[in-house]
Amino acid sequence: MNNIKIIRLAGKNSYDFGYAIGKETAREIKALLEKTEYIHDCSKTEANEAYVEFKEMAQKLYPTYFEELQGMAMGAGVDFDLLLKLNIPELDMFITDQDKVGYDDCTTLVRAARGRVQVLHNEDGGSDDGIYLFEGALPSGLQVVCVAYYGYLLGFAANLTARGIFYNCNSLKCKFQRLGIPKRFVTRDALESMSYADFLKRITVKGRAQAQNYIFVEKGKAYDIETSSRGYYAREVKGNFAHANNFLFRDMLKYEGRSHRGVGTFLRSSFARSEVKKVADFSDMKKILSSHVNRPSCVCAHGRDVGDINLTLGVIYFDSEIPDSFLLGYGPTCEAEMKKYGIVP
């Protein structure tokens, strides 16, 4: 396994920040745009009309993140609208058969006991996705270290900020997805949070299009938040807990947009939630997230080459007793070597 690419930046305005990332990741962005089918199929009237609305909403509410993407497109030498469509995965609902079983993303384990929080998160994507590590300052000046996806805004995989905040995301599919604020912009905004209360306000912004799950850690406390396009449920995590890519909480089950219960996240989630009960330390957690039980719906996934639904791109470990860094293993968890990355002062 090669080492993960690391991008370090500081002191840029929004456009130049995006430009620098785009320039350093041009090859990966071009390859991804070529392979992502739905972004080339937005000529269908309904999808095109939806794109115009999504675009307007994102630009109006988050002009600086919009500028980051404009810079990224220019830096990578790609068409801006294609890159923006990549950052609006909600568009896929207007194009692709919604009943298909596609990749369905990540699994997170949490252990919260006696003022200490440990989080182990498998970052799973599709077989064409790739991750890199961002270390440095955002245009706002905030120092962060983020596991980021090529071609996307920062903020939706796993993130640590100089404000003592760690969070990661798990995708959820909402039955009532709608035209609204694209979720990649919401998660980018979450990265700027001042506190848990501020984070909650940002991720529940009115008018959001899609659902999302978050595991958030601050001051030795962990929180699990499920959002849909309309509602949300937030609670402090106490004890051992696991979340994947389906709604878990009673009041949120009505929003579940995934229907194939015998495959994918439903199997991963029930396996992880059952196994996490007996977790006592990091090695127990890593063993669970390295598992190939229920293949091809396994927690540690090796992509389409072996017939798995997902591809585990990396594994992230955060321990609130070491609050200024996390460990990252690049590649599927069963073979990943964990290395430390932290906030650079």
Which residues in this chain contact Zn ion in the complex, by CB under 5 A?
300, 332, 334
Q: Is the dihedral of CA 94, 96, 98, 101 positive or negative?
A: negative
47/299 with CB nearer Zn ion:
299
Q: Whole-number minimum distance, CB 325 to Zn ion, in Å? A: 25
Closest CB to Zn ion: residue number: 334
Q: Whole-number minimum distance, CB 22 to Zn ion, in Å? A: 32
187/333 with CB nearer Zn ion:
333
154/300 with CB nearer Zn ion:
300
202/292 with CB nearer Zn ion:
292
Q: Whole-number minimum distance, CB 268 to Zn ion, in Å? A: 13
Q: Whole-number minimum distance, CB 107 to Zn ion, in Å? A: 12
161/265 with CB nearer Zn ion:
265
Query: What is the rounded distance in angstroms from the CA atom of residue 127 to the CA atom of residue 144?
Result: 27
88/334 with CB nearer Zn ion:
334
189/308 with CB nearer Zn ion:
308
Q: Whole-number minimum distance, CB 195 to Zn ion, in Å? A: 37
Q: Whole-number minimum distance, CB 298 to Zn ion, in Å? A: 7
Q: Whole-number minimum distance, CB 302 to Zn ion, in Å? A: 6
Query: What is the rounded distance in angstroms from the CA atom of residue 168 to the CA atom of residue 146?
Result: 10
146/300 with CB nearer Zn ion:
300
- Closest by CA to 295, choosing from 318, 319, 267, 273, is 267
Q: Whole-number minimum distance, CB 101 to Zn ion, in Å? A: 20
